[in-house]
Structure 1
């Protein structure tokens, strides 16, 4: 049953943990499933909640989720952005991209 508000803190913590540990495939599956539970702009709301949780857990964290405008298929493109480990902190790279 969809709700209009935020997901539980436990679900947000699980998403944050998967993202920080690099389990991107598991993160994407869980993100898609949880985004469907939120009405309207579920992907945008969920990305905002995960970004806030990432900063709360680690204020120095450079990883974040970026949500694009809807595509022609009415889906959002979600990008997992982080600093480059090879080129240094001044280069931002996309770790993964997926649609919701």
Structure 2
């Protein structure tokens, strides 16, 4: 990725805002779920500056259901496939069973 794009992507004001939203909204909602039997994948860039990688890792560590992985530039679908293999998950494991039943009967 071009240096200028990385500079914009990881601009301190932008990344601070995104980390705060992720921590105080997204993860707070995950922690409030009554059914904690789920995995929440977080895919992030290996190009993320170390200070933010460390912060994201600390934030994610507070929620046991979060699986954080850093990847080089790739499509998110490819990253997901890699994580599914690493965690021995298949499609039926990652989709809601009611949704799967509806889709398969259509």
Smaller-chain TM-score bracket: 0.3 to 0.5
Which protein is richer in helix relative to its size?
2
Q: TM-score, normalising length from structure 2?
A: 0.31
Which protein is richer in strand relative to its size?
1
Q: TM-score, normalising length from structure 1?
A: 0.32
Larger radius of gyration: 2
